[in-house]
Chains A and B, each alone.
Chain A
């Protein structure tokens, strides 16, 4: 059913269609609308049977989900940013125990400085925690990915994180096609846990493993994710047949067949990039786009194939490894025939707008061979230089962020 609705609410409705049994909620922007929506559905009785638990922290949210999942219930929660970090210990734990929890991460920057707007630093910080990470490009894909995520998680006994850009998707009202309950039920079988806490058949879960087997246990977690590389495209195809649209899968390629330059990115920014590429194509530049939906497991083979014969690869990232550079880029280089031709563009940090102009400019620079390997898009170099100068001059230079904002001035600080 087509409807015009907020991204968060679309996700909430999709999650509800997946018949979750335990939902743990703790508010943090920009995820909050999702659990609010679910809470209302549970409270009204629309979603039943389901336990909606208002916890006292994200750490508790994930922990309650762990308990519920270990006891055989389909568990769901959502978070963002600081919340994801606050639950980090439990996030690793859920993966280590192989509990098929599904969690939405409404991507948002990590403080300090505190910032509520979108980038990918939160999800990227947890990229190696053992969860499957899927990135949605649109609200339609976001809601579709949740339906696929439950099936994937439960089949493999691996938790799945569905990442969607905070505000840009979560708060955007768009038209989505909401599936029916019957469609979802046909696609998503009931939860059959591989391990469950049951007085009839007592087991001990989460006990210690020593050096004699720790490697094997961890390796098996890796194997599960490798299995996911086969399941994800297969079930995306099944989804296409059942629901009539392309959603999910490992990657989405756009005009890459003959491209000399391919821009790689994750999430909602792909739309802007595609528009930019369309414009550049019209100007005769052979540029293509590769959207990565499945960031973990990393689809090495699919990406290598998609990058094909491209001469240059631009990875546009909304997070970066401080002291290194691009995080996604580092992954892309492992799947590229010529790692030196992979360029990193860091963009959109803390919600900074990514404009077509800026994108076109950097794409052309890369194409022309004038761009450095690592670019921070639209960086105010003068303000940075002044900050560094201040630090050289004054020992007690004060909080960097404050001084920098005074320097750039209120007007320029506003979003363009």
Chain B
């Protein structure tokens, strides 16, 4: 994996900081000189996972590029809550153009930097799962295929939360949204074939693809750092729980991300040139039910009639992830 956990400490390397660690091994987020690229005062909801994920990722990218960073942002929560003029939370050059063109805008910025001989300036494109897996998919694929020097970060909260929690192609099966209501014989989002964007990104054979969650900060930072070591198209898919859309207590944002990983629902791994090079192991495995239960979007699986059949299908999908990516320590 991207970092070696340091043993023999009160909290290992799982916490944000650790005063027992040498400076170089501490997380960017633990330092007072972190850039706070997405600064206080934004209008995100209580406990917003995306706000957290964005600061984690962009701060790490800023650190990795010594502050030479430009970001393009898709329409969505992140864009809306961070900016309405005349205020902005962004401490970096930042542009929002449209919902579906962020990857292409980033390509343009990268091209401009290249043509001006400013290769030290790196470009990040970022958007939610709707702007990535749905409306921005074409531009994203084009950017991958051309191998433009852009790190695309998808903050996946499994739906169109900005417009009021509608289904996207990243909405998980059985989840209730405003357009996949919890009514009828098969409530919630249907079990489709899914749209595994990290795998699609890998199929483009781009230099680097990784997934991460807001619950594993050091892993996330290491991946951003690693991503910045490459030139060309890179893709980082970060799971960012949404208290509003998922219907969990705002204090549980990080816990939900952790459970998504520990249950196998969301495999955390990295891949180079289309091949998986490492996966973040499950430390304390939990059944998917533990992940599903605190979320109101899955409430219909537990009452009035428990839907064990549906939960079993979700568990099977998680088990498949565990097998596929070797998420358990014992898995060869």
Instruction: Report A's interface with B, CB cutoff 8 A.
Output: 21-22, 24, 49-51, 53-57, 59-73, 75, 89-90, 93, 97, 197-199, 201-210, 213
Contacts and interface: CB of A to CB of B under 8 A. Distances in A.
Given A54-B146, A209-B85, A71 B109 contact: yes
Interface stretch (B19-27, B76-84, B274-282, B308-316): B76-84
A41 to B, nearest CB: 14
A64 B138 contact: no
Contact of B114 (A51, A198, A203): A51
Contact of A60 (B83, B101, B117): B101
Given A56-B142, A207-B85, A64 B108 contact: yes
Given A51-B115, A56-B138, A207-B85, A75 B93 contact: no
B231 interface: no
Contact of A213 (B70, B85, B91, B110): B85
B100 interface: yes
B204 interface: no
B287 interface: no
A198 to B, nearest CB: 6
B108 A199 contact: no
Contact of A68 (B88, B108, B142): B108
Contact of A208 (B84, B139, B146): B84
B100 to A, nearest CB: 7
**Residue among B68, B84, B107, B141 having the largest count of chain A Cβ atoms under 10 Å:** B107
A59 B91 CA distance: 29
B68 A73 contact: no
A202 B91 contact: yes
A206 B102 CA distance: 12
B236 to A, nearest CB: 19
A208 B95 CA distance: 11
B97 A93 contact: yes
A21 B104 contact: no
A22 B91 contact: no
A21 B112 contact: yes
A97 B97 contact: yes
B116 A63 contact: no
Given A59-B138, A69-B108, A71-B70, A206 B80 contact: no
Interface of B: 67-70, 72, 79-80, 83-85, 88, 90-98, 100-101, 104-117, 121, 138-139, 141-142, 145-146, 148
Given A198-B93, A207-B79, 7 more contacts: A67-B108, A70-B109, A73-B116, A197-B93, A199-B121, A204-B83, A207-B83
30 contacts: A49-B115, A53-B108, A56-B142, A61-B104, A63-B98, A63-B104, A63-B105, A64-B104, A66-B97, A67-B105, A68-B109, A68-B112, A69-B112, A70-B95, A71-B70, A71-B113, A72-B112, A90-B98, A198-B93, A199-B70, A199-B93, A203-B94, A205-B94, A207-B83, A207-B84, A208-B80, A208-B84, A209-B84, A209-B85, A210-B84
B84 A57 contact: no
A324 to B, nearest CB: 29
A155 to B, nearest CB: 20
A67 B97 contact: yes
Nearest to B80: A208
Contacts of B108: 22, 24, 53, 63-71, 73, 75
**Residue among B83, B106, B115, B117 having the largest count of chain A Cβ atoms under 10 Å:** B115
Contacts of A49: 115-117
A197 B101 CA distance: 17
A204 B84 contact: no
B114 to A, nearest CB: 6
Contacts of B101: 59-60, 62-63, 66, 89-90
A213 B85 CA distance: 9
Given A60-B104, A71-B70, A207-B96, A22 B85 contact: no
A207 B88 contact: yes
Nearest to A204: B88
B220 to A, nearest CB: 22
Contacts of B116: 21, 49, 72-73
B55 to A, nearest CB: 15
B142 A60 contact: yes
Contacts of B72: 67
B112 A73 contact: yes
Contact of A67 (B68, B92, B95, B100): B95
B115 A73 contact: yes
A-B pairs, 7 with minimum CB distance: A67-B108, A56-B142, A63-B104, A63-B101, A73-B112, A71-B112, A207-B83
Contacts of B80: 208
B104 A67 contact: yes
A205 B112 CA distance: 16
B172 to A, nearest CB: 28
B141 A56 contact: yes
Contacts of B67: 199
**Residue among A50, A54, A208, A210 having the largest count of chain B Cβ atoms under 10 Å:** A208
